[in-house]
């Protein structure tokens, strides 16, 4: 029972959605969901297709793509979700996926954008910064699956091509900025709290 409680709940929900959408589109809709929901740049989508900025991250073009991202999100979630809270975790994830889609759409023209990796890289940025800020809060040590897989994913996922590298850099940058602003806000809040208590 305790192990179930410790599972990163929103992480598991996201992974189930990835798998469900992939199987549903593959077995029943035969690619129609992909046509409706995969990511597109602003110049390639119709005016009322803005939802693709959100839905694109839930589509994966192959079983290997789905498996790689699902495992990465699961292990990142094992490290981070229960530390920062599920809603903050989810916010960073969507900030990474949607923010990257918007920025990439403003620079490049594309169709068939897919994959959760920008959101995962945003979460990895959060892990790295929190670890550097307070190593007792986020403990990272090689020799276990979450840390090992996250490290290798962080390196190897950038070898898929220049497009992948660019969106990963954008996602990582968005996660870094949010985490730094979050830490700065907490620092100001703590200082204000100390100031009130000393009066």
**Span 12-23, average pLDDT:** 97
DSSP H helices in the chain: 2-6, 9-23, 32-37, 52-55, 63-84, 86-107, 117-133, 145-156, 162-198
pLDDT classification of 197: cutoffs 50, 70, 90: very low
- pLDDT for the residue 198: 46
The string of pLDDT tens digits covering residues 140-170 is 999 999 999 999 999 999 998 899 999 999 9
Write down how long the chain is: 199
d(CA 128, CA 181): 14
C-alpha distances (whole Å) from 89 to each of 20, 76, 125 are: 21, 10, 12
Structural fold of domain 2-198: Rhomboid-like fold (1.20.1540)
Average pLDDT, the chain: 90
Higher-confidence position of 75 and 160: 75
Question: The tokens of 155 are what?
Answer: 């390196």
Question: The tokens of 163 are what?
Answer: 């497009």
d(CA 33, CA 23): 11
pLDDT classification of 4: cutoffs 50, 70, 90: low
Question: The tokens of 50 are what?
Answer: 């803005």
Percent pLDDT > 90 in the chain is 75
- pLDDT for the residue 193: 52
Global model pTM greater than 0.85: yes
**Span 96-115, average pLDDT:** 92
């Amino acid at each position: 029972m305790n192990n179930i409680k410790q599972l990163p709940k929103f992480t598991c929900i996201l992974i189930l959605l990835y798998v469900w959408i992939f199987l549903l589109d593959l077995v029943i809709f035969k690619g129609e969901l992909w046509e409706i929901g995969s990511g597109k740049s602003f110049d390639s989508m119709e005016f009322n297709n803005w939802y693709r900025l959100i839905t694109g991250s839930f589509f994966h073009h192959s079983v290997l793509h789905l498996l790689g991202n699902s495992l990465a999100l699961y292990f990142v979630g094992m490290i981070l979700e229960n530390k920062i809270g599920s809603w903050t975790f989810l916010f960073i994830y969507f900030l990474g996926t949607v923010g990257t889609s918007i920025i990439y759409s403003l620079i490049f023209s594309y169709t068939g954008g897919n994959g959760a990796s920008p959101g995962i890289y945003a979460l990895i940025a959060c892990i790295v910064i929190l670890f550097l800020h307070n190593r007792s809060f986020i403990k990272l040590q090689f020799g276990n699956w979450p840390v090992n897989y996250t490290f290798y994913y962080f390196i190897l996922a950038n070898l898929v091509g220049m497009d992948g590298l660019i969106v990963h850099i954008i996602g990582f940058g968005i996660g870094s900025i949010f985490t730094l602003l979050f830490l700065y806000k907490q620092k100001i809040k703590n200082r204000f709290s100390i100031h009130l208590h000393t009066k």
